[in-house]
Amino acid sequence: MRNFIITVDGKQYEVGVEEVGAEAPAPSPAPAPKAKISAPVPANGTKVLSPFPGLIKNLLVADGASVKKDQPILVLEAMKMDNDITAPCDGKVTFQVTKGGNVESDAVLAVIS
């Protein structure tokens, strides 16, 4: 048994702690999958960046589809809320993420060229 003195709200307490034996450490949870890059980021085109960390819940258009400015292209879930991410301009969309992946702030979600 090991004795310790702890202070709580200015009052001291003496506590005895008994070691029960070595137990295997609890397994750590598997890390969440990172968003996979589907293709190299094109050098030209307008990048669509993630405004905040979140989960790619759904891709609303097909990769390579033509989109119009302000058209929703994917759904980013953050803090249990779905957020539509829209195209910043007209063009062809090339996704850099996959459905179910997690992204950080400022990650490239897609490129519109």
User: The tokens 């292209």 sit on which residue?
Assistant: 73
Residues 106 and 113: their CA atoms lie apart, in Å, by: 19
- pLDDT category of residue 72 using cuts at 50, 70 and 90: very high
Residues 69 and 55: their CA atoms lie apart, in Å, by: 23
The domain tally of the chain equals 1
Residues 53 and 76: their CA atoms lie apart, in Å, by: 9
Rounded percentage of the chain residues whose pLDDT exceeds 70: 79
Domain membership of residue 78 (yes or no) is yes
In this predicted structure, what is the pLDDT of residue 34? 56
Is this structure's pTM higher than 0.85? no
Q: Is pLDDT above 90 for 82?
A: yes
Q: Is pLDDT above 80 for 48?
A: yes
Rounded percentage of the chain residues whose pLDDT exceeds 90: 60
In this predicted structure, what is the pLDDT of residue 44? 82
Domain membership of residue 53 (yes or no) is yes
Q: Is pLDDT above 90 for 106?
A: yes
Domain membership of residue 87 (yes or no) is yes
Helix (H) or strand (E) holding 11: strand 11-17
* Domain CATH number, residue 55: 2.40.50.100
Domain membership of residue 72 (yes or no) is yes
